[in-house]
Amino acid sequence: MSAKLEPLADDPKRALIASAAIDVFSARGFSRTSMAHIAEQAGMSRPALYQYFQNKGDIFACAFTALVEQAADRALAALNEPGTVAEQLDGFLQNFDGAFWERTAASPYGEELLNAKSEYAPKAVGIAMQRIRRGLEKYLREAGPGQTSAAKRARRNGWIDILEFAPRGFKLDRPPIPAYRLRLKALAESLASDIRAHRS
């Protein structure tokens, strides 16, 4: 789960702490990480952390939120890259779901970190997913021009649901990273084919 965070808009010091925390959480898991571990990694005293965060759950939420937001930025940007619909959708999936699976699989505590995400960062993840859905809605309206009827809107919503939820199922057997990324590519190609078939 190691990653360098862009400076948080409200405070670069918080970004430094959150970046340090990601490395510690990845190496130790959530339950085995203490404020002292994070402080040491960030190069500051433990009391100094409390000037910026209430507790390690607060730090985790900040760090995970930044990771989700950055992944959402990269995923939505991929939809505007040159290429076919299949390539753009694959770029979207690889930058969002593929990158998260790679980060999670790299940590022996990946499952624990995902569970911590549900406890400490559900609101932030929900906000990011709303932004993802809005971006996909706009993209699919343009990819399938003329789709304005209620039935076609419902089909677009179905495509969005598939893009959001199918990757979760692809992880159930804990595939190696290359296999998971191939599944995402196959999903992108399949969806692109359906989009082409329903353009009108």
- Ordered by start, the domain boundaries in the chain are 12-197
Q: Give the contacts of 47 (CB within 8 A, at least 6 positions apart).
A: none
Structure tokens at 17: 């702490």
- Residue 145: DSSP 8-state: T
Homologous superfamily assigned to 12-197? Tetracycline Repressor, domain 2 (1.10.357.10)
The reported pLDDT for the residue numbered 9 is 54
The reported pLDDT for the residue numbered 142 is 85
Q: Give the contacts of 131 (CB within 8 A, at least 6 positions apart).
A: 72, 76
The reported pLDDT for the residue numbered 8 is 55
pLDDT per residue rounded down to tens, the chain (200 residues): 444 444 455 678 898 999 999 999 999 999 999 999 999 999 999 999 999 999 999 999 998 888 888 899 999 999 999 999 999 999 999 999 999 889 888 888 888 888 888 888 888 788 888 999 999 999 998 887 555 678 888 888 999 999 999 999 998 898 999 999 999 999 999 999 999 888 75
Alpha-carbon span 16 to 172, nearest angstrom: 34
The reported pLDDT for the residue numbered 4 is 47
The reported pLDDT for the residue numbered 200 is 57
User: End-to-end CA distance of the chain, in Å?
Assistant: 43
Alpha-carbon span 109 to 81, nearest angstrom: 34
The reported pLDDT for the residue numbered 114 is 82
Q: Tell me which H or E stretch contains 42.
A: helix 35-42
The reported pLDDT for the residue numbered 2 is 44
The reported pLDDT for the residue numbered 122 is 85
pTM of the model: 0.84
Alpha-carbon span 200 to 198, nearest angstrom: 6
The reported pLDDT for the residue numbered 95 is 96
Alpha-carbon span 42 to 19, nearest angstrom: 8
Phi and psi (nearest 5°) for 85?
-60, -40
Question: What is the secondary structure of 136-150 as a DSSP string?
Answer: HHHHHHHHSTT--SH
Structure tokens at 111: 């499952």
The amino acid at 148:
T
